Amino acid sequence: MVPNSKLLFTVYAFFIVFILFLISMSSANNVSNNISLNNISSNNISLNNISLSNISEKIYNESIENIPLNESNQFMNIKDENLSIDQLQKNDSENISAIQDPRVKAELLLNQGNYDEALIVYNELLEQYPKDSDLWVGKGKAYYSLNQFAEAISAFSMATSLAPNSKIAWYNLGLAYNGAKNWNEALKAFDKAINRDIRFAEALYGKGFAYSQIPTKQNEAIDAYTKALSLDPKKKEAWYQKGLALVRKGRNEDAVKAFDRALAIDPNLTLAYYNEGLALYALGKIDRSIDAFEKTIELDPNNQLAYYKMGDALVRQGKCEASIGYYDKALELKPSDADAVYQKAGAFFCLKKFEEAETWYKKHLEMRPKNFYAWYMMGQSQLIRGKYNESLSSMDMVLNLKADHSDAWYYKAVDLKNLERYKEAIKSLDMAIKYRANFGKAWFEKGLIYEKLGQPAEARYSYDRAKLLGYSG
């Protein structure tokens, strides 16, 4: 049978259309892939994944006993989960070298922590596209991640001049100023970002951090963190940093609540336990502070300050013997910690092991010879041991450093009395009373010495003065 020519033509036409359809679909897929790769730019980064942990490292190490956050670099988690190239983001040089698009290559190098290599690619791209704000942002991030804050500021500033409405450019400029500890400029940059998006939680958080570094601006820091958390209540860093700002304002109850919120999000946030322990200690909730310090040590066995504060908390409970082991561990981790040496000496004093206490006070004074508290405590220990001349020398050191120390004048008088230097003792007691007018104990001691001198009228007068001040021996 001869095939119908009309039917053959129809089949042939359908076949041609089908082939063309397949070709067009292939082309569309290629275009789609190219778009998804080329759209990887700083302004398209998912904001929810931006972390400020690197900035958090620098918080409050001088004014409250705190340990820096040990988290990864701030930009490590920056990526868009919808990008088709996630599968390529491995620390594999072959994958990097196989990528043809230099923008994608720069972004991958940045995300993988190859900041120097990323800079090379960004610089090459900027030679071709000097007015591309996204490239300047990428370059700034690379510099920021290398802690080269001046260069980062320069790059982000260029980005803001090219794209003045880019909240991301202003936000990153704020971060760079924070890194450079230029808090006022950081605040200006974060405000620019917030003006472009009043719901920009990360910029509010960065603003809170900048305020927190200015001692007189803790309330402003708390307000900024509160606003950031109203937009992103699951941000552990914001709860943590808000807790620190509250501690600085003496609002320890509120600080504990903030630290608890951070820990509800991340039960392994070591610093939240540590600083909560400090707040609880300040509130006199010693049992709970010990629990917090124990948890800190469990999570971070090399947390030197946690051992130190654990020792302090145990001393506060009267568990001086147990405290010594924690001070020893603190000193093992940091032998130069003069405070731990001083507190260990105090623990021995608490145990009435005065010879050991003096040994450790001397070690402390080798580190801090002008600590009059240490001289005073060593003098007390020497007095108890009957080493009156040594105690007298220690009290004189206290008075050389702090002339109005009424207790040092008093115990100097006690040393002099025990050395039978009665008239000098009377003069020392007069100095004690000069600096503390209601010092009944000093008046009573004068009475005792006047009796030794055979001066009953002066002794009676001194006893009467002591009695009027509520002291009867």
pLDDT tens-digit map of 400-440: 999 999 999 999 999 999 999 999 999 999 999 999 999 99
How far apart are alpha carbons 125 and 148 in whole angstroms?
Answer: 20
pLDDT at residue 60, rounded to an integer: 27
CB-based contact 137:117 (threshold 8 Å): no
* Residue 266 token pair: 């991340």
pLDDT at residue 13, rounded to an integer: 44
* Residue 242 token pair: 């808000």
Per-position pLDDT tens, the chain of length 473: 444 444 444 434 444 434 334 334 333 333 333 322 223 233 322 222 222 222 222 222 323 333 332 222 332 222 232 322 333 344 445 566 667 899 999 999 999 999 999 999 999 999 999 999 999 999 999 999 999 999 999 999 999 999 999 999 999 999 999 999 999 999 999 999 999 999 999 999 999 999 999 999 999 999 999 999 999 999 999 999 999 999 999 999 999 999 999 999 999 999 999 999 999 999 999 999 999 999 999 999 999 999 999 999 999 999 999 999 999 999 999 999 999 999 999 999 999 999 999 999 999 999 999 999 999 999 999 999 999 999 999 999 999 999 999 999 999 999 999 999 999 999 999 999 999 999 999 999 999 999 999 999 999 999 999 999 999 98
pLDDT at residue 97, rounded to an integer: 66
∠ CA 150-156-160, nearest 5°, is 140
User: Using N-to-C axis directions, what is the helix angle for 167-179 and 133-145, rounded to 10°?
Assistant: 20
CB-based contact 326:310 (threshold 8 Å): yes
pLDDT at residue 99, rounded to an integer: 78
pLDDT at residue 100, rounded to an integer: 81
Give the number of other CB atoms < 10 A from CB of residue 307.
Answer: 25
Supply the pTM of this predicted model: 0.75
Q: Does domain 50-60+97-232 have CATH number 3.10.20.30?
A: no
How far apart are alpha carbons 196 and 250 in whole angstroms?
Answer: 34
For 246-314, the DSSP string reads HHHTT-HHHHHHHHHHHHHH-TT-HHHHHHHHHHHHHTT-HHHHHHHHHHHHHH-TT-HHHHHHHHHHH
Give the residue carrying structure tokens 């803790």.
218
Domain borders along the chain are: 50-60+97-232
Name, in order, each residue with C-beta under 8 angstroms of 15's C-beta and a sequence gap of 6 or more.
none
pLDDT tens per residue across span 105-136: 999 999 999 999 999 999 999 999 999 999 99
* Residue 364 amino acid letter: H
How far apart are alpha carbons 395 and 389 in whole angstroms?
Answer: 10
Please provide the size of the chain in residues: 473
Give the residue carrying structure tokens 């109005």.
404
- The closest alpha carbon to 354, from 309, 327, 386, 316, belongs to 386
